[in-house]
Chain A
Amino acid sequence: MSAADVFKPFLMKIEQVTEETPDVKTLRLVFADDHEGKDFNFRTGQFGEYSVFGEGECTLCIASPPTRKDYIECTFRKAGRVTQALANLEPGETVGFRGPYGNIFPIQEWEKKNLLFIAGGIALPPMRSVIWNVLDLRDCYKDITIVYGARTVSDLVYKRELEEWGLRSDVKLITTVDPGGETADWKSEIGFVPAVLDKTALSSRNTVAVVCGPPVMIKFTFPVLAKLGFAPENIFTTLENRMKCGVGKCGRCNVGKYFVCKDGPVFTFAQLQEMPQEY
């Protein structure tokens, strides 16, 4: 890539639009230029800048795994100007993508370990990439447990995939909704993610935990993981500070001296303990 191109996005064609919840969508994107697509590589945990031309860019993780090479996916809630515009697009239309940026979930280091994924609400997408990545390499890992919660049943994203994971004998899936968010036919847990996690009394032996969620969920989940015996360096999360450039220049995603876009977005709890609370 020539030096000229750091802000020039790839042109991507929308191949598929999935409505996850009334205000959350997943877009499957393919490279408009086959050659660019062939040269494109990313690793799980990385993110990009997605753009609707005329509206601007927004920062989203790559929600699909690198094991599925022909496309990338992003999942977003309609919230701001760009996500509203993204949500209005249809298959065949063109968006921009810059990336991949940032560091990765070190899944090679996790081989032969148990994996515990804990996610809340709209924070499942970054974890979905790593979940499918390890499921596509299932033999490399031991027990895989997923704890996922949302405010209400309707706020759970990837319902079809949750069903698929729930049916798999090699995945233990625990879903929960906040008290009052259940429907009449809801058969899973009711309660906040940290409380549900506490109840599972999972072993921390030879286990890596990955936590993604709103700040309040993260705050109350760390103590539970500590109680279960997880060492801070075995707890991973991905931070989502506001970004514009994605490449360490625009000046807003920093947490102390660290750039979320360059040094992250993936950090261990051990690292977070050394960093100021600017996330």
Chain B
Amino acid sequence: METENKLIRRDALEKLFSQWLAEGKRILAPKKCGDKIDFAPVQTLDEVSLDQVQTVQSPKTAVFPRVEELFSFKSMDGRVQIRERDNDALPETVIFGLRPCDAAAFASLAAIFTWDCPDSLFSARLGKMTIVGLACARADEYCFCTAVGGGPGATQGSDVLLTKVSGDEYLAEILTAKGRSVAQAGAGLFKAATAETKESHLAKVEPAFALDKITPALAAWFDDAAFWEEQSRRCLGCGACAYVCPTCACFDIQDEGGVSGKRLRCWDSCGFSLFTLHTSGHNPRPLQSQRWRQRLMHKFAYMPERQQVLGCVGCGRCSRACPVDMNILEHLRAIAEAKP
């Protein structure tokens, strides 16, 4: 679809919010919750926090909640009844104000969930979601979107991308059919764009490493146990990086509630020592260094080869969240620059 540029003022955006709510849509947007800013349901634009570099949690919860019910069951006298979810009952959602890196992450998630066979729950949630991104006017030292194919004003993944071009005016790029529906439904609210372009309003993010060197370098380092030991010496295996990551999708399946309960899908992490532990006690990745290697290999080698998409969008959350200050940038630079 050809991109169409429009302008929308803040007061018109407020009206758009009311309109979405009137249509029965749920709006998720960055919101101050205690001392954190995270995606939460909002009613008005005033509730939305727009100036932070990033939220703490990624918006993946909108399509891949921390815990979700796959189905429920009821057991009686040795017989079992399964009650399937009604995916049609999932709410239509507008996710508003997410950064271009986060919008791009949905492609990585979709690749994981649907590369080989459908995942109806994931696809239903994504299908019911309209993504209104907000370009970045600021970045911090952890951001590296430009090294992994994105950018502060990148449009990939967004249905509409907003860029603040003056005190209360936003350039709105209408990017997809869903984006066009937003523009059409709010026809009186969008104005025709002038020659306004977004470039001068975007953060500057210098490419932090050469991506084309990473995958071959990872393969070359693979068997160097000492290298990975050095890389992961600080890692606690806490999984914080995976939990804040917008593309990490490893999950566990657990039952809860006894014989009449639910089967749940819950977040998991390749960094946990129990992740690959066999019942016999054997563990194919017994060392934290092997688990750290797996994390990087999965995102920068296996996914590009198997699913033709990177497992990283450069949001920098893993580095911000790490309790022992492991900065993925330093690790990737070391991988790309040092000669195995």
With a cutoff of 8 Å between Cβ atoms, the chain A residues found around residue B123 in the complex are 3
Interface centre among B115, B120, B249, B290 (most CB of A within 10 A): B120
A249 touches B249 (CB 8 A): yes
User: Is A8 touching B84 in the complex (CB atoms < 8 A)?
Assistant: yes
* Interface-central residue, A51, A214, A242, A256, by most chain B CB under 10 Å: A242
Residue of A nearest to B257 (CB): A54
Q: Are A278 and B87 in contact (CB under 8 A)?
A: no
Question: Which one, B19-27, B93-101, B138-146, B297-305, is touching chain A?
Answer: B297-305
Q: Are B253 and A249 in contact (CB under 8 A)?
A: no
Residues of B within 8 A of A242 (CB): 275-279
Interface locus among A92-100, A108-116, A167-175, A203-211 = A92-100
Contact of A56 among B253, B259, B275 (CB under 8 A): B253
Q: Which residue of B lies closest to A96 (CB)?
A: B80
- Chain B: residues with CB nearer than 8 A to chain A? 70-71, 73, 75, 78-80, 82, 84-85, 87, 112-113, 115-121, 123, 222-223, 249-255, 257-261, 263, 265, 268, 270, 275-280, 282, 284-285, 290, 294, 297-298, 301-302, 305-306
- Which residue on A lies nearest to B274, using beta carbons? A242
A249 to B253 Cα, complex, angstroms:
12
In the complex, the answer to whether A249 meets B279 with C-beta atoms within 8 Å is no
A201 at the interface (CB under 8 A from B): no
A94-B255 in contact given A2-B120, A7-B70, A255-B284 (Cβ < 8 Å): no
Cβ distance B265 to chain A, nearest Cβ, rounded Å:
8
Smallest CB-CB separation from B285: which chain A residue? A278
Give the interface residue-count category, chain A: 35 or more
Which residue of chain B is the closest to A11 with respect to CB atoms?
A: B80
Q: Which chain A residues lie closer than 8 Å to B284 at the CB level? A: 241, 255, 277-279
- A241 and B276 contacting across the interface, CB-CB below 8 Å: yes
| Residue from A240, A253, A278 having most chain B Cβ neighbours under 10 A | A278
| Residue ID in chain A nearest B86 by CB atoms | A4
Main DSSP-derived SS at the A contact region: loop
CB of A239, distance to nearest CB on chain B (Å): 9
A257 to B307, CA, bound (A): 11
Per the bound structure, the CA–CA distance linking A53 and B78 in Å amounts to 11
Q: Is the CB of B80 within 8 A of A53?
A: yes
Q: Are A56 and B254 in contact (CB under 8 A)?
A: yes
- Whether the pair B306, A257 counts as a contact (CB closer than 8 A) is yes
8 further A-B contacts with Cβ under 8 Å, apart from A5-B84, A244-B251, are: A2-B120, A11-B80, A94-B80, A245-B253, A251-B251, A252-B276, A254-B294, A256-B297
Docked-complex contact A248 and B116, CB < 8 angstroms: yes
A176 at the interface (CB under 8 A from B): no
A250 and B267 alpha carbons, distance in the complex (Å): 9
Q: Could you tell me if B78 and A244 are in contact, using CB atoms closer than 8 angstroms?
A: no
Report yes or no: A11 in contact with B250, Cβ–Cβ below 8 A.
Answer: no
Among B73, B115, B252, B285, point to the contact of A53 (Cβ < 8 A).
B73
